[in-house]
Amino acid sequence: MTFDRLVCAHCASPVNEGRCRVCRAQRRTQQEGPLAGLTPAMLVALLIALIAVAAVAHEFAV
Protein backbone atom coordinates (compact mmCIF):
# COMPACT_ATOMS: atom_id res chain seq x y z
CA MET A 1 0.00 0.00 0.00
CA THR A 2 1.37 3.37 -0.92
CA PHE A 3 1.33 6.46 1.25
CA ASP A 4 -1.18 8.26 -0.97
CA ARG A 5 -3.79 5.52 -0.43
CA LEU A 6 -3.70 5.44 3.37
CA VAL A 7 -6.91 6.41 5.16
CA CYS A 8 -6.70 8.02 8.59
CA ALA A 9 -8.47 6.16 11.40
CA HIS A 10 -8.98 9.45 13.22
CA CYS A 11 -10.78 11.51 10.57
CA ALA A 12 -11.50 8.87 7.85
CA SER A 13 -9.97 10.98 5.09
CA PRO A 14 -6.86 10.29 2.99
CA VAL A 15 -3.69 10.86 5.02
CA ASN A 16 -2.01 12.73 2.17
CA GLU A 17 -4.61 15.52 2.49
CA GLY A 18 -3.52 16.24 6.08
CA ARG A 19 -6.94 17.28 7.39
CA CYS A 20 -6.42 16.48 11.07
CA ARG A 21 -3.45 16.66 13.46
CA VAL A 22 -2.89 12.90 13.21
CA CYS A 23 -2.68 13.07 9.39
CA ARG A 24 -0.29 16.02 9.52
CA ALA A 25 1.95 14.25 12.03
CA GLN A 26 2.10 11.14 9.83
CA ARG A 27 2.88 13.19 6.73
CA ARG A 28 5.67 15.01 8.58
CA THR A 29 7.14 11.70 9.79
CA GLN A 30 6.89 10.17 6.31
CA GLN A 31 8.54 13.15 4.61
CA GLU A 32 11.28 13.80 7.17
CA GLY A 33 12.33 10.25 8.03
CA PRO A 34 15.99 9.21 8.01
CA LEU A 35 15.71 7.56 4.58
CA ALA A 36 13.04 9.87 3.14
CA GLY A 37 15.27 11.31 0.42
CA LEU A 38 16.55 7.99 -0.88
CA THR A 39 15.13 6.49 -4.03
CA PRO A 40 14.79 2.72 -4.43
CA ALA A 41 17.78 2.72 -6.80
CA MET A 42 19.90 4.48 -4.17
CA LEU A 43 18.82 1.94 -1.55
CA VAL A 44 19.84 -0.94 -3.83
CA ALA A 45 23.20 0.71 -4.50
CA LEU A 46 23.72 1.19 -0.76
CA LEU A 47 22.88 -2.46 -0.11
CA ILE A 48 25.34 -3.61 -2.79
CA ALA A 49 28.05 -1.38 -1.32
CA LEU A 50 27.44 -2.76 2.16
CA ILE A 51 27.63 -6.34 0.88
CA ALA A 52 30.90 -5.54 -0.90
CA VAL A 53 32.38 -4.01 2.26
CA ALA A 54 31.28 -7.04 4.29
CA ALA A 55 32.88 -9.40 1.73
CA VAL A 56 36.17 -7.50 1.83
CA ALA A 57 36.13 -7.42 5.63
CA HIS A 58 35.48 -11.16 5.69
CA GLU A 59 38.45 -11.80 3.38
CA PHE A 60 40.78 -9.84 5.66
CA ALA A 61 39.46 -11.56 8.79
CA VAL A 62 40.18 -15.05 7.43
Instruction: State the pTM of this model.
Output: 0.46
- pLDDT classification of 50: cutoffs 50, 70, 90: very high
Quote the CA–CA distance of 31 and 40 in Å, as a whole number.
15
Q: What are the tens digits of pLDDT across the range 5-28?
A: 778 888 888 887 888 888 887 777
- pLDDT classification of 1: cutoffs 50, 70, 90: very low
User: Does the pLDDT value for residue 56 go beyond 90?
Assistant: yes
Domain boundaries, the chain: 3-61
Task: Report the pLDDT value the prediction gives residue 30, as an integer from 0 to 100.
Answer: 66
- What are the CA-CA distances from residue 62 to residues 24, 27, 42, 56, 58 (Å)? 51, 47, 30, 10, 6
Task: Report the pLDDT value the prediction gives residue 37, as an integer from 0 to 100.
Answer: 67
